[in-house]
Amino acid sequence: MGGPRFEPVRAVRAYERVVEQVEEAVESGALSPGERLPSERELMVQFSVSRSTVREALRVLQARGLVRSRPGDPHGAEVLPFTPAALHKSMTTLARVEELSLAELVQFRMVLDSAAILLAARLRTEEQLAEMGRAVEAMRGAVEAGEDAFGAADVAFHDAVVRAGGNKLIEICTDVVRSIVLKLIAERIAEAPDREALMRRSIHHHEEVIAAMRAGDGPLAARLSRKAMYDYYAGYVEECERGALRALLE
Partner DNA sequence: GGCAATTTGTTCGTATGTATG
Partner DNA sequence: ACATACATACGAACAAATTGC
**Contacting positions for DNA (CB under 7 A):** 11, 13-15, 39-42, 44, 48-53, 55-56, 58, 69-77
Kindly identify the residues of this chain, within the stretch 104-143, that bind a second copy according to CB under 8 A. 104-105, 107-108, 111-112, 115, 118-119, 122-123
60 binding a second copy? (CB under 8 A): yes
H/E stretch holding 55: helix 51-63
Q: Give the C-alpha separation, 93 to 88, whole Å.
A: 9
Q: Give the C-alpha separation, 31 to 213, whole Å.
A: 41
Amino acid at 88: H
Check if the beta carbon of residue 168 is closer than 8 Å to that of residue 194.
no
Amino acid at 241: E
133's contact among a second copy, DNA, none, with CB below 5 to 8 A by partner kind, is none
Check if the beta carbon of residue 244 is closer than 8 Å to that of residue 234.
no
**Least CB distance to a second copy at residue 29 (A):** 8
**Least CB distance to a second copy at residue 194 (A):** 29
Q: Give the C-alpha separation, 193 to 35, whole Å.
A: 51
Q: Residue from 45, 94, 130, 186 that binds a second copy (CB under 8 A)?
A: 94
Based on C-alpha coordinates, what's the Rg of the chain? 24
167 binding a second copy? (CB under 8 A): yes
Kindly identify the residues of this chain, within the stretch 13-32, that bind a second copy according to CB under 8 A. 15, 23, 26-27
Beta bridge partners of 79: 67
Binding residues for a second copy, rule: CB under 8 A, are: 11, 15, 23, 26-27, 52, 55-56, 59-60, 62-66, 71, 82, 84, 86-87, 89-91, 93-94, 96-98, 100, 104-105, 107-108, 111-112, 115, 118-119, 122-123, 166-170, 172-173, 177, 218-219, 244, 247-248, 250
